[in-house]
Amino acid sequence: MKPFAYTRPAEAADAVAEVAANPDAAYIGGGTNLVDHMKLGIAEPTSLVDVRDLLSHRVEKLPDGRIRVGAAVPNSDLAAHPEIREHYPVLSQALLAGASGQLRNAATTGGNLLQRTRCVYFQNRAMPCNKREPGTGCAAIEGYGRYNAVLGASEHCVATHPSDMAVALTALGAQVRVLGPSGERTIDLPGLHRLPGDTPQRDTILEHGDLITAVDLPRLPLAARSAYRKVRDRASYAFALVSVAAALRVVDGTVEDVRVAFGGLAHAPWRAHRAEEELRGGPATEEAFRDAARAELADAETGPGNAFKVPMAVNTLAATLRDLSTEETS
């Protein structure tokens, strides 16, 4: 590991100035992804700016009913927060489906959003990888493909985004608050993460020096009936092959409103607008759920390693919506 300077500024503006001034500087939150990458030699910052003191650790209700989650709120505290459990169960469930108790205690909201892909070739310096070293090629296209993307991938990168929390936040339409060298701005999810195109080295639209300060959850009564369903190779403590975050309101057998996002399918959490449109106003039946999922996946491109993801995504969405709609009538 390369030597690095460590600072822990008290003010967000100082942290931004420090990182913006040094192209090799990085923010550090809980460190559960960045420290791992530094050990693997795939991140080599010369300066670490610890942001846990200067960012909010609070989950607060804003006057207009939105919820503001400070970027330093640990994953475990967010999952256990009464307001989130009651009004945004999909978010609690997504967080609880990720990592382990120890990791969730350390991981922060900001760091979770910016965790990088678990593509095995990205994590192995001996292998070609356009995300780690642009222009070297993509070992995953011909290699181990079980986790590869089926939507929105490019010939340069087929990696998937690993965060469970981000999938729930995408279904909810949360906003990410960012402080950058030229001031504050907000980004509506799923606008933060990008598809790989020909610049897979860029996971998000953020510029160097941009600091995530908070995540705002919209007031969304629909979310009170919402759920996260994750399919993985082990019952616990594994990344998603496919996951679904959904919220559903059914009135007299008709889908009145619905939100759906998929994880495990793409380089970014995937808001399923097409499926939502198909479902809205239609019957809340298993058949309709499946048709909508198939419509969303119509453009899926698969290889031998990941073809299973298409039927798995259809089944997972159908099961999630079925559970939400039967809960409704009971």
Partner 1 sequence: MEATITLHVDGEKRELTVDTRTTLLDALRDRLGNTSPKKGCDHGQCGSCTVLLEGRRVVSCLTFAVAHDGATVTTAAGLAGEDQLHPVARAFVDHDGFQCGYCTPGQVCSAVGMLEEAGADWPSHVTEDLRAPVTLDDAEIRERMSGNLCRCGAYVNIVAAIREASR
State the residues that interact with partner 1 by CB under 8 A.
Answer: 1, 3-6, 8, 28, 30-32, 35-36, 39, 48, 50, 52, 76, 79-80, 85-86, 89, 92-93, 96-97, 99-103, 105-106, 235-237
Position 158 contacts ligand SF4 (CB under 6 A)? yes
Q: Which of 70, 89, 152, 162 binds ligand FAD (CB under 6 A)?
A: 162
Scan for tokens 């999630």, then name that residue: 320
Position 200 contacts ligand SF4 (CB under 6 A)? yes
Would you call 80 helix, strand, or coil by DSSP? helix
Residue 129 contact partner, candidates ligand FAD, partner 1, ligand SF4, none, CB within 5 to 8 A by sort of partner: ligand SF4
Position 159 contacts ligand SF4 (CB under 6 A)? yes
DSSP 96-135: HTSS-HHHHHH-BHHHHHTPPP--TTTT-TTS-BTTTSTT
Alpha-carbon gap, residue 295 to 262, rounded angstroms: 13
Would residue 137 be called left, alpha or beta, if left means φ above 0 and alpha means ψ between -120 and 50 degrees? left
Torsion of CA 122, 129, 153, 39, to 10 degrees: 20
Which 8-state DSSP code applies to residue 74? B
Alpha-carbon gap, residue 254 to 270, rounded angstroms: 24
Position 181 contacts ligand FAD (CB under 6 A)? no
- Minimal distance in Å, beta carbon 94 to partner 1? 10
Element (DSSP H or E) covering residue 7? strand 5-7
Position 26 contacts ligand FAD (CB under 6 A)? yes
Residue 114 contact partner, candidates ligand FAD, ligand SF4, partner 1, none, CB within 5 to 8 A by sort of partner: ligand FAD
Window contacting ligand FAD (CB under 6 A); options: 60-68, 106-114, 123-131, 248-256: 106-114
Residues 224-283, interacting with ligand SF4 (CB under 6 A)? none
Position 138 contacts ligand SF4 (CB under 6 A)? yes
- Minimal distance in Å, beta carbon 207 to ligand FAD? 11
- Minimal distance in Å, beta carbon 100 to partner 1? 2
Longest CA–CA span in the chain (Å) reads 63
Window contacting ligand SF4 (CB under 6 A); options: 18-26, 51-59, 101-109, 115-123: 115-123
Position 150 contacts ligand SF4 (CB under 6 A)? no
Closer to partner 1 by Cβ: residue 67 or 138 = 67
DSSP 27-60: EESS-TTHHHHHHHTS---SEEEE-TTTS---EE
Q: Which of 49, 140, 246, 297 binds ligand SF4 (CB under 6 A)?
A: 140
- Minimal distance in Å, beta carbon 319 to ligand SF4? 28
Torsion of CA 90, 94, 96, 99, to 10 degrees: 180
Residue 39 contact partner, candidates ligand FAD, partner 1, ligand SF4, none, CB within 5 to 8 A by sort of partner: partner 1
Closer to ligand FAD by Cβ: residue 118 or 274 = 118
Position 69 contacts ligand FAD (CB under 6 A)? no
Scan for tokens 């607060």, then name that residue: 60
Residue (of 207, 245, 309, 223) closest to 97 by Cα position? 245
Residue 71 contacts residue 212 (beta carbons within 8 Å): yes
Position 216 contacts ligand FAD (CB under 6 A)? no
Going by their DSSP bridges, the two strands 47-50 and 67-70 should be labelled as unpaired
List interacting residues with ligand SF4 (CB under 6 A).
117, 119, 121-122, 129-131, 138-140, 157-159, 200
